[in-house]
Structure 1
């Protein structure tokens, strides 16, 4: 836990004691207060200490966890004194930082590369600048008007088919978030956002083959987990039975045993839904490592959970699964006195499956290698491996066509008909796909499309969309683009809106319940190694996720290391959405509710009918479950911000 806040009065006015008291009251759950004065301002840290250089020309406060055995006593102030803002890239750390340079009369705010630590700010030119770890502390200031940001609402209610870049805008007008991997340079008249993260992928270029990459992953990942549990006595870890959570839990328990500390507490959420069940893999981890294992169930009160998280997080629910799913573990952690909870969040975005290797081969025109790789992938990632005879051929053809579908669509749209048909003949001959399989595949695609409900991008009214036309925002896009252009590495799978928002929400929940979330897969060294790993290494002869499967052999159970399935939470997501609708509808039913100024009520009714229609298969419903849930989350939040903000949640 921890947090920071501060105010600078550029107009020279005295900082109101009442303002400071409001901030300290709202952030008291993050730790004891330590503060220091700067010119016309105040820096505050909760649960931390003030850093300064010997001459006190540089002062800083940080909510930081530094993952290095060797670092200076004041890592941020010292690094800044030596290298300026470039020094923010030096520590391997999760951090939110505010640093005052007395000589330059400049304030810097900075944030770790994936936004594990949140940091928000408000700036009124020539008047004041304020920052805090939680938005509620800024909304409580006398000169801040709480105004919903309807452009953010539009973004929130729009279904995006690709990763959305993280933007500085929040759900409140005039309140912004510091971008991950960036620092904010603050003056009386303006703020300037500048990226400081310079990923060092070249240090791994000397590695060769799966053995060397996997060995490096094992060493670096073990260090990432170990550094996060040092100085902790009661450690918890999510354990779903999946590859990511199992990797974290196994490495953590191994480290705790070596350190002679109490056993790891592992937590599995039991949804009671068959498709989400992974108990066999969980038990294999528990049996091998003898963790103290706990099964918890989602909270029954889904609506109450959403109301609570909206208050804790200051904005509509953002988790993919509803808060009743996550708060159940937080309640158990609080009861047991655990001060740290490890999670495998982000693992599949960082230590990727490498299946883009197939696209790489396709783009290179190497059909023989593509065919071999497809056979390997099919063998390891389908329920029934290749068998002899017709079943083997039929399975191969169907799988191959499913992989070719994006390329076929792209070629059909972009190329002349003759060129397209010629390419298709080449695929058919080079990959040995039968005519019968092609006809059957096309027929099934048409039938599947006719059985699915109409595609829905959003449920907003035409008037609302006209009033909230997209506007230019400050985002992480420039950083992502720069790394791709200069180093050929794609960051968007890791540094995106969904991942950062989940990090922020976990931080808020942990601070409220008295424990800290830790993300070993978001360790700076782990990220840079994994993103530098060649696709064929991650592909691992069709198994996928080669760094984990090969690198952690002997640490994770063999059953987990070789599993090729993932839990499916559609059943639980559908159940939770239906439960939430029944609980929330009495509040939304009135035609005068503010939500109907944003959402088309007729379209909303269609969404509800799809979600509750038992004749529509669950695989066709995720987009509708998502829309229904977000509309209700938003309605609850709109109700909440109209009420006076409570000082103690």
Structure 2
């Protein structure tokens, strides 16, 4: 993790040296080990260095190539170095002495603007090409390394690892982007380009950018293939291939000149990363792996220590702990907002923030985690839908009955989520033979009354459109109940920015996914994943720590997406291929655990007890700056339910209150122009 920044005056005005210095200085937390700038007439590049890999100790950025016609600044860890060294003309010295930025620069010299297609790893970089008089920029496949920019045609182009660096240049306005605020409040964080500020954009993942006197050109150099199907000869073959790819994904992220920590929660993902990392480090006779875990002494329903200890009991770790009840959703926001450029925090932001704080206190620079293994491997529950569309009711029933005890849910709840919606769809499509077969199968396997199934899931779905038209005619229902009209968003604000139309566009297909692959592909390509990765980067950067995510490895994601559905859900076990693959690596207690611990109790307790004074102060006195965005009546009603003693509040209530309070505090802190 480092910091990059740059200025390109498109009107040929010379670079103001002080502007670039300010950009470098404000990102000192991203790279306290070294800083430098390079300026030539109307182009300037800057860099902040955090030493992490052995090669970074000798890396000097910005870097000029031997011919003197290319200059690069980069925040990068390149993982396919062995593969690239055979393809590129690099200095004749050992690979351990060749820096990642040299690999990128050599790739650009060989392949030009196609070079990102040949790179594997986490990267964001910019290369000034004197011959072409153009600035070439690129970002990694999933957006692990951030890249923000500001562009005014024929005037200026700025870029940086964090938005705050862009504001160091006087030409950049600090105006709020209301559309992004609406996306946040409506829980539709799927736009990959916009930010909370007007005219400041993010380069989307897997995209490249060229800027020159003719203008700006942005394109995608890679996309996740949703058509690839993997067929191997046996379950053991799938497990072996997963194991090989996953171990390599972890191994790539162990390249370090310093001790490494792993955020161990006790879940399947973090435990898998931690155990594999420990094994790899032990083989190389390196120092033991540090682990940092959040534990709960009072709110014991959130505590994962039985699973954490099952991993630690294997030995080879140096454990450290954070006490979950000592921090909460609104704690330390004044400190967080010094670094966090956008208000759009996730409800669990305080966990990685605190774990990284502990890492810094221990002198650790690199932290592994199990971030979003759920999405990468896939739980596969949509296989139930696939089975229904294939007419495999018996297999569907077997999977439902096997899944229920693993996740502590009833057969009826699973049937309600998957079987009955399919039955209603058959009725709406007038597929009465298939409907009758479905009714008989549900009755046979789950004992539900055939008469009730026909009435509630055959006849009523057909009558509902007629009843809705009648209600509209009677003016009891003047408009469809779209999300923006029933959520936290102020209806007038939603109408002004046409939020409903925007949500329909961003959502893409309004139909639920019908296959495991489709569901997984949607999750992996939506903007929410990119935004969350950016937040993970900032929570680490605040403490001069680099976060590394093995489950975000391109090879692993491509492999998992191509797997057959039964490798994800089989005999009621989600993520089956991973469970099989890690036999002998994970403790049995973790390998075959069903769900994961729900941290809602600590979230709500934090709001109502540890954060209560601030919560009440904002709700009573500091909502003025968000009234134009928020449905105040909706918010106050949710707040009253939350603080009432009869426990009437839902998770949606606590989430809505937290969103509004956080947004109000952020706007106060940042003083953004509305």
Show the 5 A alignment for 1:170-185: 170-185=195-210
Q: Which residue of 1 aligns with 2:131?
A: 103
Q: Which residue of 2 aligns with 1:129?
A: 157
The one of 506, 514, 520 equivalent to 2:550 is 520
* Alignment check: 8 A CA contact 1:120 1:178 kept: yes
Q: Which residue of 1 aligns with 2:442?
A: 428
* Alignment check: 8 A CA contact 2:356 2:543 kept: yes
Q: TM-score, normalised by structure 1?
A: 0.86
The one of 263, 269, 279 equivalent to 1:254 is 279
Show the 5 A alignment for 1:261-340: 261-271=286-296, 272-298=298-324, 299-300=326-327, 302-323=329-350, 325-340=351-366
Show the 5 A alignment for 1:146-295: 146-160=174-188, 164-188=189-213, 190-199=215-224, 205=230, 207-271=232-296, 272-295=298-321
Q: Is 1:625 paired with 2:654?
A: yes
Shift of 1:198: 4.3
The one of 560, 567, 581 equivalent to 1:551 is 581
Q: Residue 584 of structure 2: SS of its match in structure 1? A: coil
Q: Residue 522 of structure 2: SS of its match in structure 1? A: coil
Shift of 1:238: 1.2
Q: Residue 597 of structure 1: SS of its match in structure 2? A: coil
* Alignment check: 8 A CA contact 1:367 1:430 kept: no
Q: Is 1:62 paired with 2:58?
A: no
**Farther-moved stretch of structure 1 (176-185 vs 597-606):** 597-606
* Alignment check: 8 A CA contact 1:201 1:529 kept: no
Q: Is 1:93 paired with 2:121?
A: yes
The one of 106, 125, 147 equivalent to 1:78 is 106
Q: Which residue of 2 aligns with 1:415?
A: 429
Distance 1:358 1:14 in 2: 62
Residues 503 and 432 (structure 1), Cα distance of their counterparts in 2 relative to 1, 3 Å cut: closer
Q: Which residue of 2 aligns with 1:11?
A: 11
* Alignment check: 8 A CA contact 2:177 2:196 kept: yes
Q: Residue 201 of structure 2: SS of its match in structure 1? A: strand
Shift of 1:289: 2.9
Residues 580 and 198 (structure 1), Cα distance of their counterparts in 2 relative to 1, 3 Å cut: same
Distance 1:69 1:592 in 2: 52
Q: Which residue of 2 aligns with 1:449?
A: none
Shift of 1:183: 1.2
Residues 415 and 463 (structure 1), Cα distance of their counterparts in 2 relative to 1, 3 Å cut: same
The one of 370, 377, 387 equivalent to 2:396 is 370
Q: Which residue of 2 aligns with 1:594?
A: 625
**Farther-moved stretch of structure 1 (83-92 vs 186-195):** 186-195
Q: Which residue of 2 aligns with 1:37?
A: 39
Residues 204 and 100 (structure 1), Cα distance of their counterparts in 2 relative to 1, 3 Å cut: farther
Shift of 1:354: 1.9
Q: Residue 38 of structure 2: SS of its match in structure 1? A: strand
Shift of 1:92: 1.3
The answer for unaligned runs of 5 or more in structure 1 is 384-394, 444-453, 479-483, 645-649
Q: Which residue of 2 aligns with 1:647?
A: none
Q: Residue 523 of structure 2: SS of its match in structure 1? A: coil
Distance 1:396 1:641 in 2: 49
Q: Residue 36 of structure 2: SS of its match in structure 1? A: strand
The one of 476, 491, 496 equivalent to 1:467 is 496
Shift of 1:85: 2.6
Shift of 1:28: 1.9
* Alignment check: 8 A CA contact 1:318 1:501 kept: no
The answer for unaligned runs of 5 or more in structure 2 is 50-59, 86-97, 458-481, 509-513
Shift of 1:525: 1.1
Q: Which residue of 1 aligns with 2:539?
A: 509
Distance 1:541 1:343 in 2: 28
Q: Residue 289 of structure 1: SS of its match in structure 2? A: coil
Alignment deviations for residues 116-147 of structure 1 (CA, whole Å, 9 cap, x no partner): 11110000110010000010000221101100
* Alignment check: 8 A CA contact 1:207 1:213 kept: yes
Distance 1:372 1:358 in 2: 10
Distance 1:535 1:254 in 2: 30
Q: Residue 260 of structure 1: SS of its match in structure 2? A: coil
Residues 166 and 346 (structure 1), Cα distance of their counterparts in 2 relative to 1, 3 Å cut: farther
Q: TM-score, normalised by structure 2?
A: 0.83
Alignment deviations for residues 342-377 of structure 1 (CA, whole Å, 9 cap, x no partner): 110110000112222222111112223323333333
Distance 1:489 1:599 in 2: 31
Distance 1:102 1:409 in 2: 63
* Alignment check: 8 A CA contact 2:639 2:657 kept: yes
Distance 2:223 2:359 in 1: 36
Q: Which residue of 1 aligns with 2:511?
A: none
Distance 2:112 2:356 in 1: 39
Residues 585 and 378 (structure 1), Cα distance of their counterparts in 2 relative to 1, 3 Å cut: closer
* Alignment check: 8 A CA contact 1:397 1:437 kept: no
Residues 532 and 591 (structure 1), Cα distance of their counterparts in 2 relative to 1, 3 Å cut: closer
* Alignment check: 8 A CA contact 1:285 1:557 kept: yes
Shift of 1:518: 0.7
Q: What's the C-alpha RMSD, in Å, of the aligned pairs?
A: 3.3
* Alignment check: 8 A CA contact 1:166 1:179 kept: no
Shift of 1:284: 0.6
Distance 2:541 2:637 in 1: 39
* Alignment check: 8 A CA contact 1:305 1:327 kept: no
Q: Which residue of 2 aligns with 1:405?
A: 420
Q: Which residue of 2 aligns with 1:585?
A: 616
Q: Which residue of 1 aligns with 2:471?
A: none
Q: Is 1:49 paired with 2:61?
A: yes
Shift of 1:606: 0.7
Q: Which residue of 2 aligns with 1:446?
A: none
Q: Residue 564 of structure 1: SS of its match in structure 2? A: coil
Residues 437 and 262 (structure 1), Cα distance of their counterparts in 2 relative to 1, 3 Å cut: farther
The one of 141, 145, 157 equivalent to 2:169 is 141
Shift of 1:201: 8.2
Shift of 1:398: 5.9
Distance 1:13 1:154 in 2: 38
Distance 2:223 2:488 in 1: 40
Q: Which residue of 2 aligns with 1:448?
A: none
* Count of aligned pairs between the two proteins: 610
Shift of 1:63: 0.2
Q: Residue 330 of structure 1: SS of its match in structure 2? A: helix
Q: Residue 315 of structure 1: SS of its match in structure 2? A: coil
